[in-house]
């Protein structure tokens, strides 16, 4: 079982993420946009991945991971999310700081590492962003992430991530004292402008805009 280069791993991961729904065609351009590089580079790499039997490629159907390629990708995602849990829970990093570090840690190679880390962390199901952590056999829980906007009045949810990561939004959240883990109860939805009235922490009722509610990811 040969290993992959760092670059190959990054391609596999991006292809895996682009394939989320399995519906849309994964084109060289889509990959180049995700990796922020040139389509020509992507075409080169696709050839290498095809040679290594990690992906299949037909211009008509786009790129598809082979089983082998998917397993590699899932293991990378598994390591990424486990390391995120470690960074957040054990080292105390904020949920906005962990991604870039996990992006490096996910490439550490050792056959037992993911399993040992998982055990050490107590077999977490979700990472600090609410994304499910694939198990050793590749299975993975369903993501329960939804938009705050989709929570029905009367229900309570827990903040797991933000969609918009602009500092203006993050600062607003800070001012409200809403962070990862904050429990929010939806009190009411105003049909007129789709704003909602919510309660959380010591705040008994505040109104937030539609845009706000569409950028906060929660876990029911």
Nearer to its own copies, 110 or 194 (CB): 110
8 binds, among DNA, its own copies, none (CB under 5 to 8 A by kind): DNA
- DSSP codes, 32-58: HHHHTS-HHHHHHHHHHHHHTTSEEEE
Contacts with its own copies, 106-145, as mask; x by CB under 8 A: -xxxx-xx--xx--x-------------------------
What is the Cβ-side half-sphere exposure of residue 88, based on CA atoms within 13 angstroms? 24
Spatial contact of 83 and 105, defined as CB atoms under 8 Å apart: yes
Nearest to 187 by CA among 179, 198, 178: 198
For the record, the structure tokens of 206 come out as 């505040």
Give the nearest distance from C-beta 117 to its own copies in angstroms: 7
Q: Which of residues 39-98 bind DNA (CB under 7 A)?
A: 39-41, 43-46, 48, 59-60, 62
As a whole number of angstroms, the distance between CA 111 and CA 149 comes to 41
Q: Does 61 bind its own copies (CB under 8 A)?
A: no
Instruction: Pick one of 7, 44, 53, 91: the residue that binds its own copies (CB under 8 A).
Output: 91
Interacting residue with its own copies among 37, 39, 93, 197 (CB under 8 A):
93
Contact string (CB under 7 A) for DNA, positions 2-41, x = contact: ---xxxx-x----------------xxxx----x-xxxxx
- Residue identified by tokens 């040679």 is 51
78-101: burial string, b at 16+ Cβ within 10 Å, e else: bbbbbbbbbbbeeeebebeebbee
- Exposed/middle/buried for 190, CB within 10 Å: 0-12, 13-18, 19+? exposed
> If contact means CB under 5 to 8 A according to the sort of partner, which of its own copies, DNA, none does residue 91 touch?
its own copies
Residue 192 C-beta: closest distance to DNA, Å: 34
* Contact of residue 41 among DNA, its own copies, none (CB under 5-8 Å per partner type): DNA
**Footprint of its own copies (CB under 8 A):** 90-93, 100-101, 104-105, 107-110, 112-113, 116-117, 120
């Amino acid at each position: 079982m040969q290993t992959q280069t760092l670059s190959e791993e990054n391609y596999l991961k991006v292809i895996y993420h682009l394939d989320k729904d399995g519906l849309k065609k994964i084109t060289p351009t889509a990959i180049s946009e995700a990796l922020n590089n040139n389509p020509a580079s992507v075409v080169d790499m696709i050839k290498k991945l095809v040679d290594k039997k990690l992906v299949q490629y037909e211009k008509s159907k786009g790129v598809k991971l082979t089983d082998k390629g998917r397993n590699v990708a899932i293991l990378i995602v598994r390591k990424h999310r486990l390391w995120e849990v470690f960074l957040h829970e054990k080292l105390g990093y904020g949920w906005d700081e962990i991604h870039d570090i996990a992006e490096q840690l996910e490439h550490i190679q050792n056959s037992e590492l993911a399993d040992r880390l998982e055990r050490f962390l107590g077999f977490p199901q979700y990472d600090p962003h609410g994304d499910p952590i694939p198990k050793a056999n590749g299975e993975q829980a369903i993501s329960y992430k939804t938009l705050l906007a989709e929570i029905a009045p009367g229900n309570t949810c827990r903040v797991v991530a933000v969609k918009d990561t602009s500092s203006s939004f993050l600062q607003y959240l800070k001012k409200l004292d809403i962070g990862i883990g904050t429990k929010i109860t939806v009190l009411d939805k105003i049909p007129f402008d789709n704003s909602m009235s919510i309660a959380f922490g010591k705040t008994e009722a505040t109104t937030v805009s539609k845009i706000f509610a569409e950028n906060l990811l929660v876990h029911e």
